[in-house]
Structure 1
Amino acid sequence: MTIAIRIALCLLLALAPLDAWAQSDDKAMMIVSDDAEMAAAIEKARSGLDEFLALSDAPLPGTDKFKLKVMIVDGNATEHFWVIPFKRTDTGLVGILANEPEIVRNVVLGQNIEFTRDDISDWGYTKNGHQVGSFTVCVMLKKMSKEEADNLRSAYGFDC
């Protein structure tokens, strides 16, 4: 993320409640907490969660790298992290935090965390080298410079 974008995002932090959205390359992007596009992406992810979990339980040929994005709250701060790998438990889900926290301080990279379906804000997996899901990432790509977005698309197989 460019310095100008970081400065602008820091200024926004003082003006509106923000959530930090962890990206695939372990950087965070600040998004206003009432961003309509992000809310729609979360809703889309949650509406397909049952199908995603069923597929992650019995992956089809050519599918791998299943991941969940989970919301972590620490006081008034909220940050979203990829959890890779994850598994279901009797009471919810458990997995390993795959991003370095930038806002919250109650978790650390590599920590094993327990969470519920209500904490899930996105999901994704790779099918034949292309990302499926990752709806929140597609929103973030629109808010990045063309160069940064193109680099992430190329490196991780995003089609959005």
Structure 2
Amino acid sequence: MRFLMPSIAVFAMAFVISAAAQQRDESEVVFVGTSDPEMVAAMRQARTTLPDFLKLAAAPPSGTDNYKLKVMVIDGDKTEHFWVTPFKALPEGFAGAIANDPKIVRNVKAGQIVRFNESLISDWGYTKDGKQVGSFTVCVLFKRMPAEQAEFYRKNHGFDCR
């Protein structure tokens, strides 16, 4: 699979989290412009703290699990961001499984193993004692989605965006 740097005006941040009690499409897509200042800041924070996250993921402390990376996948002029879990570091980048079916791009599918480099990582996250850590872009998306949708994810998946 070949990945290119993004250059489109709108991109989709798709996030999937394990099944919950309520019925809903857990791969809902929220569109955010590439120049959105809060999203740009969230991605910058994720990339700045990525080295510390990768060290933690390499030797996870007890009480932590569900380590994941959010990765840009580019298909022509379309871009979609996917959680990739599990993932592993390779000598030249990373590899991991796409966590959900695409809504925008067509060059990947759920469960497919993809290779990528650090420049395509837009976020990271894990769970510590039932609470989400990281997932900076998700907290921005909560502000852009209907309140009941955001509350569903907060309640069922341990997000605490303050």
Q: TM-score, normalised by structure 1?
A: 0.88
Equivalent in the alignment of 1:21 = 13
1:109 is matched with: 110
5 Å-filtered alignment, 1:38-117, equals 38-117=39-118
Per the TM alignment, residue 147 of structure 1 is displaced from its structure 2 partner at its CA by 1.1
Q: Given that residues 97 and 111 in structure 2 are in contact (C-alpha distance below 8 angstroms), is that contact kept between their aligned partners in structure 1?
A: yes
Instruction: Decide whether the 8 Å contact of 1:41 with 1:135 is kept in 2.
Output: yes
Give the AA of the match of 1:140.
L
Check the 8 A contact 1:74/1:104 in 2, yes or no.
yes
Q: Which amino acid is 2:127 matched to?
A: T
2:133 is the counterpart of 1:141? no
Corresponding letter in the other structure for 1:102: K
Deviation at 1:17, TM superposition (A): 2.1
**Number of equivalent positions:** 145
Would you tell me which structure has more helix in proportion to its own residues? 1
Distance 2:64 2:129 in 1: 6
Q: What root-mean-square deviation, in Å, do the aligned CA atoms of Structure 1 and Structure 2 show?
A: 1.0
Given that 1:23 and 1:29 are in contact with CA atoms closer than 8 Å, whether structure 2 keeps it comes out as no
Identity %: 51
1:34, distance to aligned residue in structure 2 (A): 1.3
Unaligned 5+ residue runs, structure 1? 1-15
Residue 154 in 1 paired to residue 146 in 2?
A: no
Specify the code of the residue in structure 2 equivalent to 1:92.
G
Distance 2:33 2:113 in 1: 28
Superposed CA offset, 1:78-105 (max 9, x none): 1000000000011110000002111111
4+ runs deviating over 4 angstroms: none
Counterpart of 2:94, as a letter, is: L
Residue aligning to 2:125: 124
* Deviation of 1:59 (Å): 0.6
- The 2-side partners of 1:28 and 1:147 are apart by 15
